[in-house]
Amino acid sequence: MVSGAKQTRLYNKAKKFIPSGVNSPVRAFKAVGGTPVFVMRGKGPFIWDEDKKRYLDFCCSWGPLLFGHAPDALLKRLRSEISKGTSFGVTTRKEVDLAERICSFFPSVEKVRLVSSGTEAVMSAVRLARGFTGRQKILKIDGGYHGHVDSLLVKAGSGLTTFGIADSAGVPPGLAKQTISVPFNDEAALERVFKREGRNIAAMILEPVPANMGVVLPADGYLKHARLITKKYGAVLIFDEVITGFRVAKGGAQDYFGVRPDLTCLGKVLGGGFPLAAFGGKRQIMNYLAPSGPVYQAGTLSGNPVAVSAALWMLTELDKRDPWERLNHRAENFIKRLRAVISVEGYPYQLNSIRSMFTLFFCPVPVTDFASAKKSDTRRFSRFFHLVRKEGVYLAPSQFEANFISTAHSERHLETALKVFRKALKKA
């Protein structure tokens, strides 16, 4: 396994002062083993670790870096903005400008509120749905991850549904019991749950393209069915587009698949690498937020001027450069060639992708939900991860995560990655 002397020393020091040595669990490499990477800097499609080893980066900070690391134009903008102040705790004109831009990108979003993380966006959207409907229960999908929100940290269960089993210590059983989990892509399961619990369900929340069990595509008609059944029973449909928003399409996965939710959670690409997220949706629901409504939500750093400036730059660039066609063409060509390698060699692996997002599952069966994703050979993935890392390619350090291609990944970079992948697959 790849490691460097400086990385190892840093990790040992980190474990003395930080739980497990990391500030977010997946960074600890528990899923793949070995010493985690400590990144020193990033530029374009590359990152460099503390031992000065360079990697072609497909993690891209878990998705937000659509234009790669540290774009020069963004850095120039931020140098100017930081000189004006770093935080005010009061409203700025830029917040209004950003809210207007978000609404223009997402037709389903009539009003929007800014927050600092995807978890905060989801937490707020769930509370708002409960306040708006006067109901308590939340429906999610097996394997669906929506940040570390107490009521959504519920284990994916086998069978039709799983009620109230917390996936983390510290979650009160009574709160966990308010969450129902169903298999993804199973319309019949949705019908059964809503028939039994429909009048108690405040909201159904899902990623339209799950990316936290690895990339899993919705079956034809599944999202439209979710839209119809939530409307029938008066439940709020929440799309968690923290990852897919602005990446799958200009208006997110809801634009790509033609399904409008009631509420949308956004993050990642929106902040351009800064801690910024948002939730928004129908006017009549959003008006339930304090101070005009009874649902309380607040944040001192919500709408932070530096993060908002980064977001305004990002959305302006997206409008100006319209990068999706070229990026998706390049990404899909890479995916096509990688799929051909898997097919020709007869590997029992699955390559799931949508636009510039992909996951290579070390799995013998098609991955269509969490149950099939869990059939993956995680030990083989671990070997593959370290083999490509040794050759200077960095992937998300978990079988059950998405990888991302940015506009900074050139054809030459992707050709290099393809050669590394082909070599590693023979040894994994």
Domains of the chain: 5-66+323-427 (3.90.1150.10), 72-321 (3.40.640.10)
* The token pair that represents 52 in the structure block: 């000065």
Q: Measured between alpha carbons, how far is 45 from 393 in angstroms, rounded to an integer?
A: 10
Q: Measured between alpha carbons, how far is 143 from 185 in angstroms, rounded to an integer?
A: 12
The residues carrying an active-site annotation are 145, 240, 268
The stretch 308-322 carries a mean pLDDT of 97
pLDDT at 162: 39
Lowest mean pLDDT among 149-158, 341-350, 364-373: 149-158
Neighbouring CB atoms inside 10 A of 378's CB total 16
Q: Which residue has the tokens 């995560």?
A: 401
Dihedral sign for Cα 205, 171, 29, 426, please.
Answer: negative
pLDDT at 425: 97
Q: Measured between alpha carbons, how far is 126 from 147 in angstroms, rounded to an integer?
A: 12
* The token pair that represents 257 in the structure block: 């698949």
Is the pLDDT score of 165 beyond 90? no
Q: Measured between alpha carbons, how far is 234 from 217 in angstroms, rounded to an integer?
A: 26
Is the pLDDT score of 176 beyond 90? no
Q: Which amino acid is at 140?
A: K
The stretch 380-389 carries a mean pLDDT of 97
pLDDT at 395: 98
pLDDT at 2: 58
Who has greater pLDDT, 151 or 228? 228
Q: What are phi and psi of 255, to 5 degrees?
A: -70, -45
Q: Measured between alpha carbons, how far is 344 from 107 in angstroms, rounded to an integer?
A: 43
Instruction: Note the pLDDT tens digit of each residue in 193-213.
Output: 999 999 999 999 999 999 999
Lowest mean pLDDT among 1-15, 25-39, 44-58: 1-15
pLDDT at 157: 31
Maximum distance among all Cα pairs of the chain, rounded to whole angstroms: 61
State pTM to two decimals: 0.95
Is the pLDDT score of 172 beyond 90? no
Which run of H or of E encompasses 361?
A: strand 357-361
Query: How buried is residue 384: exposed, middle or buried, by Cβ count under 10 Å (0-12/13-18/19+)?
Result: buried
Name the pLDDT band for 171 (thresholds 50, 70, 90). Answer: confident
Helices 305-321, 72-82: axis angle to 10 degrees equals 150
The stretch 261-290 carries a mean pLDDT of 97
Is the pLDDT score of 164 beyond 70? no
Q: Measured between alpha carbons, how far is 320 from 307 in angstroms, rounded to an integer?
A: 20
The angle subtended at Cα 19 by Cα 13 and Cα 21, nearest 5°, is 40
Is the pLDDT score of 17 beyond 70? yes
Is the pLDDT score of 65 beyond 70? yes
Q: Which residue has the tokens 């051909």?
A: 340
Q: How far is CA 132 from CA 263, 286, 299, in A?
A: 12, 9, 21
Start-to-end Cα distance in the chain: 13
pLDDT at 407: 98
Q: Measured between alpha carbons, how far is 249 from 323 in angstroms, rounded to an integer?
A: 10
Q: Pick the closest to residue 218 from 257, 250, 255 (CA basis).
A: 257
Q: Measured between alpha carbons, how far is 333 from 139 in angstroms, rounded to an integer?
A: 37
pLDDT at 4: 78
pLDDT at 166: 59
Is the pLDDT score of 156 beyond 80? no
Return mean pLDDT, the chain.
Answer: 94
pLDDT at 102: 98
Is the pLDDT score of 158 beyond 60? no
The angle subtended at Cα 212 by Cα 240 and Cα 370, nearest 5°, is 105
The stretch 120-124 carries a mean pLDDT of 97
For the chain, give the percent of residues with pLDDT over 90.
Answer: 90
Q: What's the DSSP call for residue 413?
A: H
The stretch 134-142 carries a mean pLDDT of 96
